Amino acid sequence: MQNGNSFANTSWSERFYTAQNALPRLSTVEATNTFSGVISGESVLRYVMIYTSEEAGVFTGLQTITAAVDGQLGSFTLREDGSWQGMRIRSTMTVVVEGSGTGALSGISGTARYTHDSGESPACPYTFDFTLDRG
C-alpha cells in the first residue's frame, strides 16, 4: 500500500434519466479529478449510476487519467466499479486494456482501490498496485 496517495473531485455534473423522486433512479455523471501521489495529474470520467435507495447505489464508468505514474508521463484509462451506502464509497478501478496507455505509460497495467467516507475530507486516499512494462 502506498502512503500519501489521494485524489479530489474538481467538477461534477449529474444528469438524471428517471424522475429524481423515483426509485430506482438512473443518472449519468461527467466529472474531473486531480490526483497526487504515485499518480500525479488530472482525469476526466463518465459514470452511469443507479440509486437503489435515497442512501445507496452502484456506479460504473471509465476514467482517463493524464498524469505521471512513478515519474513516467502519459495517459491510461481505468474501468471503475463501485457502490455507496450513506457517506461511504467503495470502488475498484482497473486499467481497461493492458497496452492501452500512451507515452511512457504504454505498458501500464494494474488496479486502484479506495474506500472513503465523503463526510471526512474532500481528499480521497487510494492505493494503486501497478506494473509498468518499459520494454
Distance CA 91, CA 114 (A): 6
Mean pLDDT of 37-58: 97
The string of pLDDT tens digits covering residues 113-130 is 999 998 777 899 999 999
112 to each of 29, 31, 45, 81, 82, how far by Cα in Å? 20, 18, 15, 11, 12
CB neighbour list of residue 98: distance below 8 Å, 6 or more residues apart: 107, 108, 109
Model confidence pLDDT, tens digit, residues 5-15: 999 999 999 99
Domain positions in the chain are 6-132
**What would the mean pLDDT of 32-40 be, rounded to a whole number?**
97
Domain 6-132 class? mainly beta
